[in-house]
Amino acid sequence: MEPRFNLFDSPTAAKVAKRFYNASLALRESTLPKTVQELVELRASQINGCGFCIDIHTKEAAAAGETPLRLNLVAAWRHTTVFTEAERAALALTEEGTRLADANQGVSEETWAEVRQHYDDDQVGALVCLVSMINAANRMSVILHNQGGSYEPGMFAALD
């Protein structure tokens, strides 16, 4: 399957895509741990079936030192022993925030309480923005049929 369209061929979409990427840099600079960020982005991408983003976040996480065991178990995190309670709270928020149409309540009070227990205000804000942004990125890539498999860690750094 070939990509349908290159956003950078549209002046308006190119501006939005570049600004979208630059907004994500603020999240990278936040105090939310890099490991949590990559796990969250990977899990949302798995749920949304975005091969392009799964490729990116699997490779970025590995480059940052994440283990193959943990990366392979993200999709089944509830049934593993390899994630911390804080990571589990972030993954639960990610799933509930990603599956809004599937859950009549959105993010549950239980999940929200777990997140608040493990993260400070700045980290909670970053986490909420991260879940929102990766879902938007997934949707763009799925709509366009962007394919996974050719990403190299750090290749988007030129957009800075």
Domains of the chain: 33-151 (1.20.1290.10)
pLDDT given for residue 141 in this prediction: 95
Contacts 24+ apart (CB under 8 A), 65-72: 66/35, 66/38, 66/39, 70/39, 71/42
Tokens of 25: 């840099």
Contacts of 160 (CB under 8 A, 6+ apart): 22, 25
The answer, as to whether pTM is greater than 0.85, is yes
pLDDT given for residue 159 in this prediction: 57
Q: What is the pLDDT along the chain (160 residues), one digit of tens a residue?
A: 888 999 889 999 999 988 998 899 999 999 999 999 999 999 999 999 999 999 999 999 999 999 999 999 999 999 999 999 999 999 999 999 999 988 678 899 999 999 999 999 999 999 999 999 999 999 999 999 999 999 999 887 765 5
Tokens of 151: 């990403």
Distance between CA atoms of 20 and 133, rounded to whole angstroms? 8
pLDDT given for residue 158 in this prediction: 63
Distance between CA atoms of 101 and 79, rounded to whole angstroms? 24
26 contacts 38 by C-beta, under 8 angstroms: no
pLDDT given for residue 10 in this prediction: 95
Amino acid at the residue 74: V
pLDDT given for residue 101 in this prediction: 86
Burial class (CB in 10 A: 0-12, 13-18, 19+), 157: exposed
Distance between CA atoms of 113 and 47, rounded to whole angstroms? 23
Q: 48 by DSSP, 3-state: which?
A: helix
Do you know the residue count of the chain? 160
pLDDT given for residue 154 in this prediction: 83
